[in-house]
């Protein structure tokens, strides 16, 4: 239960960090941010990186800003930063709701939003938010910066399109229109445990009907994604129990559930139905 | 062997100059290199919470950080709670309400709850329960731990109001 030997690097600037990462990435160099997933993996020796590039000392990565209609969350922003709404309107409220389901308080004081997105656990709450809202991931390397859309970012269980020499510097989320309704629900066996499924939903009301509906499901498939079948069941309809149920059933039918020692595929499918329905109910409340 | 580095851990106000490998976790350094064995090690992978300490004012799990990352920062452990022979109100409440059985998880719970009460002396029962759900007690003495922390909160609030 002790991590294997590694060389430790603590760059002070982003410029320095990507230079170090370019050097050590071919030799299994990894980025250390909050460490709340990486360090346990190292303790189990499932990972034995030869180098760690600790980005915690890079002040420019610790910021949250709102620019051009987007919330920009830097790579060192901790989960606990979202306890209170970080911006006015529905996005700040949604993030403040979601953070309460992430692990436990002492994990939230160290773990980072962007670290979760880089780690890409299927049960990551922040990944589900990023996928649902079509967020963007900014990746920096010596070769330059690229902005990756959420729909192109996730590639599998704990797998993304990030290259080994790329540092995820920030995640950008759209600041939702003020009249957006938001809902989130997840199911886990114990408080703080990995969720077995979760749903993030948003919609607006135009002339009594739902518009711009989004339904994102996490924890049920290799990675979180929007479920267009469920969204189609909502758009243009009144926000009532019958419509919500139809969307929940559509979400459950559309997924290809993971199976593991916790659940069968059918159980997880049923959880997706229940979480989608409850998220829609909470958005309407 | 990887090269050792010189760092200083400041624990309960006292500086400990130590030499560690970068892979040494903070909790191992606190116990083995600084001799402060009040902080316990349970699961070593961030699940049980028994190694909870306060780093720069925030409760963290000391098994999920490397000691080198805490160089020059302020660490508080269970050894720093009492004032000489006088226990902190929370420590006394754990005795009064039978908040410990085997005592293994106690240092972690004390630091977790001390931090929560310092951040918000008026913390509500629901939020308190959310915070306390962070740590495990294998004696399953949760009800008495909750009682003890609530009692300490109420007592400390009462003193503040006077």
Q: So where are chain B's domains? A: 5-80, 89-161
Best mutation target among A39, A49, A76, A105 (most B Cβ atoms within 10 Å) is A105
pLDDT at B20: 98
Q: Does B116 touch chain A (CB under 8 A)?
A: yes
Q: Does B23 touch chain A (CB under 8 A)?
A: yes
Question: How close, in Å, is residue B134 to chain A by CA atoms?
Answer: 5
DSSP assignment letter at B66: B
- Read off the pLDDT of each residue in A146-151 and give the average, rounded to a whole number: 98
Instruction: Tell me the per-residue pLDDT of B99-154, one tens digit each, with 9 for 90 and over.
Output: 999 999 999 999 999 999 999 999 999 999 999 999 999 999 999 999 999 999 99
- The total of structural domains in chain A comes to 3
pLDDT at A191: 84
> Is residue A85, in this structure, part of any structural domain at all?
yes
Tell me the pLDDT band of B158, cut-offs 50, 70 and 90.
confident
Asked if residue A95 and residue A12 are part of one domain, the reply reads no
Percent of chain A with pLDDT over 70: 100
pLDDT exceeds 60 at position A273? yes
Six token digits for residue B33? 């290199």
ipTM over 0.85: yes
pLDDT exceeds 60 at position B1? no
Percent of chain B with pLDDT over 70: 98
Question: Is the pLDDT higher at B63 or at A261?
Answer: B63
pLDDT at B2: 62
Asked if residue A163 and residue A70 are part of one domain, the reply reads yes
Residue entry with tokens 């699961």: B43
Asked if residue A148 and residue A162 are part of one domain, the reply reads yes
CATH topology of domain B89-161: DNA polymerase; domain 1 (1.10.150)
Residue entry with tokens 């920009």: A72
Q: Does B61 touch chain A (CB under 8 A)?
A: yes
Query: A56 to chain B: nearest residue by CA?
Result: B69
CATH number at residue A227: 3.30.390.50
Tell me the pLDDT band of A261, cut-offs 50, 70 and 90.
confident
pLDDT at B162: 62
Asked if residue A240 and residue A260 are part of one domain, the reply reads yes
Query: A48 to chain B: nearest residue by CA?
Result: B23
- Read off the pLDDT of each residue in A154-182 and give the average, rounded to a whole number: 98
pLDDT at A214: 98
Residue after which a domain boundary falls, among A127, A142, A174: A174
Q: Measured between beta carbons, which residues in chain A are less than 8 angstroms from residue B21?
A: 5
- Read off the pLDDT of each residue in B1-12 and give the average, rounded to a whole number: 90
A182 in Cβ contact with A249 (< 8 Å)? no
Asked if residue A147 and residue A69 are part of one domain, the reply reads yes
pLDDT exceeds 90 at position A154? yes
pLDDT at A190: 86
pLDDT exceeds 90 at position B161? no
User: Does the beta-carbon distance from B2 to A3 stay under 8 Å?
Assistant: no
| Rounded Cα–Cα distance for residues A17 and A116 (Å) | 19
pLDDT at B23: 98
What's the domain range around A19? 7-54
The number of CA neighbours under 13 Å toward the Cβ of A188 is 16
- Provide the pairing of β-strand B5-11 with A225-226: unpaired
pLDDT at A184: 98
Q: By three-state DSSP, how is residue A223 classified?
A: coil
pLDDT at B87: 98
Average pLDDT, chain A: 97
- Read off the pLDDT of each residue in A201-230 and give the average, rounded to a whole number: 98
Strand positions, DSSP E, chain A = 7-9, 29-32, 51-54, 64-67, 70-74, 136-141, 144-149, 154-156, 159-160, 167-174, 181-187, 197-206, 209-218, 225-226
User: Does the beta-carbon distance from A191 to B130 stay under 8 Å?
Assistant: yes
Best mutation target among A40, A103, A104, A111 (most B Cβ atoms within 10 Å) is A104
Instruction: Tell me the per-residue pLDDT of A156-169, one tens digit each, with 9 for 90 and over.
Output: 999 999 999 999 99
* Lowest-pLDDT choice from A112-126, A186-200, B106-120: A186-200
A144 in Cβ contact with A67 (< 8 Å)? no
CATH number at residue A32: 3.30.43.10
> Is residue A183, in this structure, part of any structural domain at all?
no
Asked if residue A234 and residue A145 are part of one domain, the reply reads no
Q: Does A52 touch chain B (CB under 8 A)?
A: yes
Tell me the pLDDT band of B28, cut-offs 50, 70 and 90.
very high
Q: Does B136 touch chain A (CB under 8 A)?
A: no
The sign of the torsion formed by the CA atoms of A232, A233, A237, A241 equals: negative
B60 in Cβ contact with B41 (< 8 Å)? no
Whole-prediction pTM value?
0.96
Instruction: Tell me the per-residue pLDDT of A70-97, one tens digit each, with 9 for 90 and over.
Output: 999 999 999 999 999 999 999 999 999 9
pLDDT exceeds 90 at position B52? yes
- Read off the pLDDT of each residue in B36-43 and give the average, rounded to a whole number: 98
Residue entry with tokens 């309400």: B97
pLDDT at A231: 98
Q: Measured between beta carbons, which residues in chain B are less than 8 angstroms from residue A7?
A: 2, 22
pLDDT at B157: 86
Asked if residue A159 and residue A63 are part of one domain, the reply reads yes
> Is residue A189, in this structure, part of any structural domain at all?
no
> Is residue A187, in this structure, part of any structural domain at all?
no
pLDDT at A51: 98
Average pLDDT, chain B: 96
Q: Which CATH superfamily is domain B5-80 in?
A: Beta-grasp domain (3.10.20.30)
Distances (CA, A) of A282 to A88, A208, A278: 19, 18, 6
> Is residue A228, in this structure, part of any structural domain at all?
yes
> Is residue A89, in this structure, part of any structural domain at all?
yes
């Amino acid at each position: 239960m002790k991590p294997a030997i590694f060389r430790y690097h603590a760059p002070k600037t982003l410029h320095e960090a990507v230079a170090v990462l370019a050097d050590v990435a071919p030799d299994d160099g990894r980025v250390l941010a909050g460490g709340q997933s990486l360090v346990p993996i190292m303790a189990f020796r499932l990972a034995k990186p030869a180098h760690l590039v600790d980005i915690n000392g890079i002040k420019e990565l610790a910021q949250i800003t709102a620019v051009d209609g987007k919330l920009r969350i830097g790579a060192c922003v901790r989960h606990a930063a979202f306890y209170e709404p970080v911006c006015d309107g529905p996005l700040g409220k949604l993030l403040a709701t979601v953070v309460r389901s992430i692990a436990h308080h002492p994990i939230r004081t160290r773990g980072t939003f962007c670290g979760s997105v880089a780690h890409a656990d299927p049960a990551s709450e922040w990944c589900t938010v990023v996928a649902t809202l079509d967020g963007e991931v900014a990746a920096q390397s010596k070769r330059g910066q690229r902005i990756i859309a959420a729909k192109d970012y996730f590639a599998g269980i704990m797998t993304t399109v990030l290259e080994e020499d790329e540092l995820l510097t920030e995640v950008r989320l759209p600041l939702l229109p003020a009249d957006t309704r938001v809902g989130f629900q997840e199911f886990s066996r114990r408080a703080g445990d990995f969720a077995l499924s979760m749903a993030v939903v948003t919609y607006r009301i135009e002339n009594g009907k739902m518009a711009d509906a989004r339904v994102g499901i996490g924890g049920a498939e290799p990675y979180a994604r929007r479920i267009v079948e469920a969204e189609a069941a909502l758009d243009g309809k009144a926000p009532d129990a019958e419509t919500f149920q139809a969307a929940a059933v559509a979400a459950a039918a559309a997924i290809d559930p993971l199976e593991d020692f916790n659940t069968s595929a059918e159980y997880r499918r049923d959880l997706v139905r229940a979480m989608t329905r409850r998220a829609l109910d909470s958005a309407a409340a | 062997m990887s090269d050792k580095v010189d760092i200083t851990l400041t624990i309960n106000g006292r500086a400990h100059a130590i030499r560690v490998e970068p892979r040494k976790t903070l909790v191992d350094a606190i116990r083995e290199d600084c001799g402060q064995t009040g902080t316990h090690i349970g699961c070593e992978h961030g699940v049980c919470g028994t190694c909870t300490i306060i780093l720069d004012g925030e409760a963290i799990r000391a098994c999920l950080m490397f000691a080198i990352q805490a160089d020059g920062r302020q660490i508080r452990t269970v050894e720093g709670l009492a004032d000489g022979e006088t226990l902190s109100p929370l420590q006394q409440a754990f005795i009064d309400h039978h908040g410990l059985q085997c005592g293994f998880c106690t240092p972690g719970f004390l630091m977790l709850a001390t931090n929560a009460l310092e951040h918000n002396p008026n913390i509500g029962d629901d939020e308190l329960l959310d915070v306390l759900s962070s740590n495990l007690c294998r004696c399953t003495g949760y009800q008495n731990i909750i009682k003890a922390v609530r009692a300490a909160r109420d007592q400390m609030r009462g003193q503040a109001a006077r």
